Amino acid sequence: MPGVRLPGLGAFQVWGSSTDVGKTLLSAGLAANSGNYLRNLRYIKPVQTGYPDDDDSLFVKRHAKPQRDVDVKVLLGYRDPVSPHRAVEASKAIEDSKLIQLVSEEIGRTSDSSISLVETAGGVLSPAPSGSLQADVYRPLRMTAVLVGSGQLGGISETLSAYESLLIRGYDVPVVFVFGTEHENHKAIDKAVDANVLVAPSPPPKTEPLTKYFEEDGLREAFSSTCKTIASYMNSTESRLRTLSEEAKDHIWWPFTQHATTNKVTTIDSAFGDDFTVATTDPKDKVNLSTQFDACSSWWTNGLGHGNPKLALEAAKGASRYGHVIFPEVAHQPAVDLTNLLLDNVGSTWADRVFFTDNGSTAVEVGLKMILRKRANDLYGRRDEYPWKNMKVIALEESYHGDTLGVMDCSPSSVFNATQMPWYKPNGIFLDPPTVSMRHSQWIIEGDKVLEKHGERKDLFAMEKRLTSSLAEDYRQQIKAVLASEEPEVIGGLLMEPVLQGAGGMRFIDPLYQRILADECQRTGIPVMVDEVFTGLWRLGAPSASQMLGIKPDVAAFAKLLTGGLLPLSVTLASDEIFKVFEGKKKEEALLHGHSYTAHPIGCQVAVHALQEYGKRFSGSGQQPQYWDNQMCKDISSMPNVNGVVNLGTVLAVRLAGSGSGYTATGSVAVTQALREKGIYARPLGNTVYLMCSPVTEVQKCDELISELKQTLSHVLEVREPAIAV
């Protein structure tokens, strides 16, 4: 699956604000008068109804004839002269993906120097043969849009609405063309849009021939200008894409990036579903667009797919109803709806309150303030000041909770923190937990030595059985020993990423260990906080990773997938016991933490939509699919130079054998580089290579991806060291 080449700069699409506004008329005019601006303009009509009696392509060919012999093509013809979704009823349906593949291939048939004009059917939101809305169907190709508006009475509104429908689906609309000047619609349209508005006289009534009309100087001038405008827009787009990466490299300071060694910058022109549309410049300085599968799930955020039109509409709804409104002592519908959804879902068995912040880091900082205050209250009772300077959290080795100082202090010393901030101080009692990975088709639990082996992943989560095992007893004793070795005043709480440590290298912690750790803490009055920023909301195949462990935390942080992968918003859920500690007569007793955009309505609105969508797909009877084929995982786990495989929900991680380890290791660079050449945008994570899909990725896609990964591993790893055998 090499990255799919997109028509991008080699094609544009003609849309109508409604049916019968002159799309074909304009197409014919452009085809005839493309001249020097749009060289070798070709015409493609993907869907033609009333065919062959109606055939827009013949109309275009005939009326362009005096100027040029235009290459024209109809891809799908339906006999009924009705909307495509109804015409198809009597015929066989065609899937959206198939339709855009046909269009893409047809455009690809053109020579490098020619431009394709693709004419749509009906209005922008007319149903395609599948019944999906046309503007949604063509969105993956994201061709430059030319909108034909209406010159009739009422046409201003119709045109502007159609224009907005294209914009809110991520299209660029540089040109709006209007036939008819009598109502001066073009003037009002010009005032309202951010596009070039061009106008031509109305054609004669349908009964009269168009020959004379097409010969009018004014008309030819309008068509010619339109071609020039389209060409100029496409050229300027190409220029911008050519220089964008250099501009970025010169002035942007990227996160987690060593600029001195950065060579390759990826220019992302747009994104849709699981794919980025990436621009590259070839040796002839021509810009090409192709797809790259977003295998890092854009830092693990991608929820409902990039450029999701429903999510974009929800964002616009939130923005236009409220903008942002201040939150303390305020109720607004999206925040209340989101609160209810979260408490009914991931918080259903334990949480009573939702606190809003902006990202995972701040959500965990808030959670820290919650659990530490709770613990201090339990230890010392209500006081104005606590003797709590030495309080620490129990945390795990290789943990990562974000980059602000408070959460940095919860991770052991590493490159993330020690050289980054003078005030960094590891305020944790750090435990080294046993981990799990698949090697030679077996799930192996390992601490200092191999502890257990299991055939199926689900065995690892069979808590009822495992809690009575001798391993459980070992864990319990170890944990008890740690808790007993510290003064109770020193232990402020437990903080951990449940099940899978992300930035730590996709480390799968033995679920039994975390279960017992949480149980023992709560049994001895130590508050338990889980950082579900990465693991929560269906990332690992369940609403929350805590549920997979069967624990009821006191505090939990969620972010990333919360907004469906659109924008920053995070929440910290807490139990009533935690909340009550902050109630009192004095303002100072409250939790004095807040950010300007706390619970911003636009974020809450899209989060409500995202949670509802996840719910519809996976809750109740619906199950999340097995994204990564089990047999393929087993195969990879048996490959030489592979040190272990983890597949959990949307995550597939392969730890490579090699000398380096940890975050700065470069073992996986060669593999991710090879994957990118195949159209898979993977990012290295120390000596781990991972693929991550969104919760809504099709399994078939995952099958292709894992197959590519396997092949890539076998090619690239041949030249590397042997794996560790177990």
Query: What part of residues 592-651 is at the interface with a copy of itself (CB under 8 A)?
Result: 592-600, 602-603
Residues 268-297, interacting with a copy of itself (CB under 8 A): 268-271, 276, 294, 296
Least CB distance to a copy of itself at residue 566 (A): 6
Least CB distance to a copy of itself at residue 299 (A): 5
In the bound state with a copy of itself, the residue whose beta carbon lies nearer, of 102 and 336, is 336
Least CB distance to a copy of itself at residue 629 (A): 25
Least CB distance to a copy of itself at residue 653 (A): 17
In the bound state with a copy of itself, the residue whose beta carbon lies nearer, of 145 and 444, is 145
CA atoms within 13 A on the CB side of 54: 15
Please identify which residue in 56, 96, 119, 365 interacts with a copy of itself, judged by CB under 8 A. Answer: 365
Least CB distance to a copy of itself at residue 26 (A): 16
> Is 382:571 a contact under the CB 8 Å cutoff?
no
93 touches a copy of itself (CB under 8 A)? no
Least CB distance to a copy of itself at residue 203 (A): 17
CA dist 147 and 678 (Å) reads 35
CA dist 452 and 460 (Å) reads 10
Query: Which amino acid type is present at position 424?
Result: Y
Tokens encoding 15:
């849309």
Residues 656-685, interacting with a copy of itself (CB under 8 A): 663-664, 681, 683
Cα–Cα–Cα angle for 84, 88, 93, nearest 5°? 115
Least CB distance to a copy of itself at residue 513 (A): 27
CA dist 66 and 310 (Å) reads 45
206 touches a copy of itself (CB under 8 A)? no
CA dist 518 and 512 (Å) reads 10
Least CB distance to a copy of itself at residue 29 (A): 21
SS3 string, 223-249, reads HHHHHHHHHHHHHHHHHHHHHHHHHHH
In the bound state with a copy of itself, the residue whose beta carbon lies nearer, of 360 and 511, is 360
DSSP string, 80-137: SSS-HHHHGGGS----HHHHHHHHHHHHHTS-TT--EEEE-SSSTT-B-TTSSBHHHH
Contacts of 326 (CB under 8 A, 6+ apart): none
Least CB distance to a copy of itself at residue 663 (A): 8
Nearest to 680, CA basis, from 688, 666, 692: 692
Nearest to 520, CA basis, from 528, 530, 531: 528
Least CB distance to a copy of itself at residue 39 (A): 26
Please identify which residue in 138, 293, 356, 475 interacts with a copy of itself, judged by CB under 8 A. Answer: 356
In the bound state with a copy of itself, the residue whose beta carbon lies nearer, of 64 and 675, is 675
* Window of 70-78, 104-112, 559-567, 650-658 that interacts with a copy of itself by CB under 8 A: 559-567
Least CB distance to a copy of itself at residue 269 (A): 8
What residues does 422 pair with on adjacent strands?
none
399 touches a copy of itself (CB under 8 A)? no
Please identify which residue in 52, 154, 204, 622 interacts with a copy of itself, judged by CB under 8 A. Answer: 154
Tokens encoding 100:
């855009």
Please identify which residue in 28, 99, 115, 156 interacts with a copy of itself, judged by CB under 8 A. Answer: 156
Nearest to 691, CA basis, from 630, 640, 641, 649: 649
Least CB distance to a copy of itself at residue 563 (A): 8
Least CB distance to a copy of itself at residue 119 (A): 15
Q: Could you give the residue ranges of the DSSP H alpha helices within 144-216?
A: 155-167, 185-192, 211-215
Place of tokens 């639990």: 445
Buried b / exposed e along 398-420 (16+ C-beta atoms within 10 A): bbbbbbeebbbbbbbebebbeee
In the bound state with a copy of itself, the residue whose beta carbon lies nearer, of 592 and 719, is 592
Please identify which residue in 23, 63, 369, 655 interacts with a copy of itself, judged by CB under 8 A. Answer: 369
CA dist 24 and 15 (Å) reads 10
Residues 318-337, interacting with a copy of itself (CB under 8 A): 319-333, 335-336
242 touches a copy of itself (CB under 8 A)? no
Please identify which residue in 175, 368, 395, 675 interacts with a copy of itself, judged by CB under 8 A. Answer: 368
What mask of x and - would describe binding to a copy of itself in positions 408 to 447, judged by CB under 8 A? -x-----xx-xxxxxx-x-x--------------------
CA dist 10 and 114 (Å) reads 7
Please identify which residue in 162, 436, 460, 495 interacts with a copy of itself, judged by CB under 8 A. Answer: 162
Residues 573-592, interacting with a copy of itself (CB under 8 A): 574, 579, 582-592
559 touches a copy of itself (CB under 8 A)? yes
In the bound state with a copy of itself, the residue whose beta carbon lies nearer, of 91 and 266, is 266
CA atoms within 13 A on the CB side of 307: 24
In the bound state with a copy of itself, the residue whose beta carbon lies nearer, of 212 and 259, is 259
In the bound state with a copy of itself, the residue whose beta carbon lies nearer, of 167 and 472, is 167
**Cis before 52? omega within 30:** yes
Nearest to 406, CA basis, from 381, 372, 355: 372
Cβ atoms within 10 A of the Cβ of 67, count?
Answer: 16
Strands 528-531 and 555-558: parallel
Please identify which residue in 281, 404, 638, 714 interacts with a copy of itself, judged by CB under 8 A. Answer: 404
Least CB distance to a copy of itself at residue 148 (A): 12
CA dist 305 and 270 (Å) reads 12
Q: Report CA-CA distances (Å) from 502 to 147, 274, 299, 498, 662.
A: 46, 20, 10, 10, 12
Q: Report CA-CA distances (Å) from 466 to 309, 459, 515, 555, 633.
A: 45, 9, 10, 25, 24
Residues 443-502, interacting with a copy of itself (CB under 8 A): 492
Residues 116-135, interacting with a copy of itself (CB under 8 A): 122-127, 131, 133-134
Most distant CA atoms of the chain, gap in Å? 97
Least CB distance to a copy of itself at residue 676 (A): 11
Nearest to 565, CA basis, from 297, 354, 343, 337: 297
Please identify which residue in 6, 11, 12, 17 interacts with a copy of itself, judged by CB under 8 A. Answer: 17
What residues does 42 pair with on adjacent strands?
116
Q: Torsions phi, psi of 159, nearest 5?
A: -70, -45
SS3 state of residue 174: coil
In the bound state with a copy of itself, the residue whose beta carbon lies nearer, of 268 and 482, is 268
Please identify which residue in 58, 90, 252, 726 interacts with a copy of itself, judged by CB under 8 A. Answer: 252
380 touches a copy of itself (CB under 8 A)? no
Q: With contacts defined by CB under 8 A, how many residues of the chain interact with a copy of itself?
A: 179
Tokens encoding 569:
């918003």
Residues 57-86, interacting with a copy of itself (CB under 8 A): 82-83, 85-86
Least CB distance to a copy of itself at residue 408 (A): 8
Please identify which residue in 75, 102, 210, 244 interacts with a copy of itself, judged by CB under 8 A. Answer: 244
Least CB distance to a copy of itself at residue 219 (A): 24
CA dihedral (428, 430, 436, 439) positive or negative: positive
Please identify which residue in 58, 90, 93, 265 interacts with a copy of itself, judged by CB under 8 A. Answer: 265
